[in-house]
Structure formats: C-alpha cells, structure tokens
Amino acid sequence: MKSLHNRVAVITGAGSGIGRALAFELAAAGCKLALSDINETAVKQAAKELQDSGHEVIADRLDVADRDAFYAYADKVLEHFGEAHIVINNAGVAVGATVENTSYEDFEWLMGINFWGVVYGTKAFLPHLKKAEEGHIVNISSVFGLISVPSQSAYNAAKFAVRGFTEALRQELEIEGSSVSCTTIHPGGIKTNIARNARMNESSVRAMTGKDVDGARADFEKLFRTSPEDAAKAIIAGIRGNKRRVLIGGDAVAIDTMQRLLPTSYQMLMTSGQKLLSRFS
C-alpha cells in the first residue's frame, strides 16, 4: 500500500493485545479507524484514548462469529466513513485440550471466531475494498498455522485454515489484477492475554504437561517474547511492502525453519519433548 494517510482501517479484536497496538500504530500513521471487540468496554476505552489525541475513531462491540452482525457492522463502517481500505481480521481465542477431550462446543466456539470470523470479515468488506483506490486484507494465522502441537488441535485447525484461505485469496486477487491484496500473519509468542483467556481442559493439561491449568498457563506465557507493539509494527511493514506473509518474532522464524527442514519429523521432536516435560514436571 503506497500510503496509509487518510486510509480507513478496520480492526477486530482491537480492545487488547495486537489489535489495540495496531490501532495506535495505524492512527499515528494517519489512518481513520473502525475498531471492534467482543469486550465493548475495552474497545471503547482504546477509542477514547485515540479520540482524545485527535484521531477519527469509531468503536463497536462485535461478535465476529455472527455473520449477520459482521455484515451489519460493515454497512455501519461504510455509512460512517464512506469507504474502507484496510481490514485486519485479528480477533482470536484458544482452547487447550486433546482431540478426545475437546468438546464439539469448544471446537465450534473457536472455529467460529478464529476461522469463520476471518471469512466473514474478508467477504463482508472485500467488495468495498475493491471500490476503493486500493485495499489490503490482513488475516492473522499463527506459528501454529505452520506446525501442529499436542493439545492444540482446534487452534491448529483454525490457523492452518486461515493460512490456506488467505493464500488462495491472494492468488485470486493477483489473477484478477485487483487493486486489493492480502497478507497472512504468523505471530510467534506475543505478550497478550490469549493464554489467560483460553478454555483449558484440566485432564488434557495434566496429561500433556504434568501441571495444573494455572501452572501450564504460566509456563506458556513465559514463551511470549514479542510485545504487541513490535508485532503491530511488523504487520504494518507487511502492509506497506505488500508481503505475502509475515513471520513475527525470532521464535516464528525458528519454527518456520524447523518445518522446512523437518517437515514431518518435527513431530517426533515435539512428542519427545512433551514426554520429557511431563515426566519431570
């Protein structure tokens, strides 16, 4: 994207973490903002801080898993701003459980947000992006969209799906010669609340780690090395450079390299490591 000044950026999950950091970074770059989050209090607080600094921002509660609500939200954004240029499908949740112990309800809850929320956000705004001078869609996958890990089957399924969906869309837009493009984001460990807010199955966590849920959350959060602000800057650089994908953090680069070098045998490393972790915990 040639310039971010006066562009309208739409960000889901903007009440905290990467979404909130993106809102402040894009505002600083001159964007007008449409922010949403399931946590209305958090997203409106972020919007107020930006408005108090002189930025044009609207904020709404949005359940991205609700298709009708997402389309109504897109209409509201277009009614307010008249156009949209950047859509960042960032909202996400996590579930920690084995396949056997993950309920259908938890699978559906996670897929509704992490995958269908991306699909709805993309399809609701894509026709409007095509009407603008240029547009860009950013869909957040994960390093768990590059490799799979035990107890993360639902999350892996959604993040692999986001990757495939976005890569296919990118090719379709290029074949059309569209002024719209898209980027897949693969963050490593980012210092957000996603682990703290994840749905965790106690027996699965003990089987995989030898610890209770609180202990497993604490250990997982120790792996979060990258700040949301640094992640936001990397994503914006990807938009500016029209990157096909963006790896965020040294851990993401390492995991991508491992998957390339050991496309199937990385699984044996993961299972061996998990067994040792469980044994000595």
Tell me the catalytic residues.
155
pLDDT band at residue 270 using 50, 70 and 90 as cut-offs? confident
pLDDT band at residue 221 using 50, 70 and 90 as cut-offs? low
CA distance 45 to 57: 11
Structure tokens at 129: 């992006």
Q: Which amino acid is at 271?
A: T
pLDDT, greater one: 198 or 143:
143
Structure tokens at 171: 């090719």
Structure tokens at 168: 């296919």
Residue 181 has pLDDT above 90, yes or no: yes
Of the candidates 46, 44, 52, the one whose C-alpha atom is nearest the C-alpha of residue 18 is: 46
pLDDT band at residue 222 using 50, 70 and 90 as cut-offs? low
The pLDDT score that the predictor gives to residue 277 is: 60
CA distance 213 to 170: 39
CA distance 236 to 214: 34
pLDDT band at residue 261 using 50, 70 and 90 as cut-offs? very high
CA distance 55 to 26: 10
pLDDT band at residue 210 using 50, 70 and 90 as cut-offs? low
- In this structure, whether the domain defined by 8-280 belongs to CATH 3.40.50.720 is answered with yes
pLDDT band at residue 121 using 50, 70 and 90 as cut-offs? very high
Residue 116 has pLDDT above 70, yes or no: yes
Please state, in angstroms and as integers, the Cα–Cα distance from residue 84 to each residue in 40, 109, 176, following that order: 22, 28, 20
Q: Do 117 and 65 form a contact (C-beta atoms < 8 A)? A: yes
Q: Do 252 and 190 form a contact (C-beta atoms < 8 A)? A: no
Tens of pLDDT, residue by residue over 139-154, are 999 999 999 999 999 9
The pLDDT score that the predictor gives to residue 146 is: 98
Length of the chain measured in residues: 281
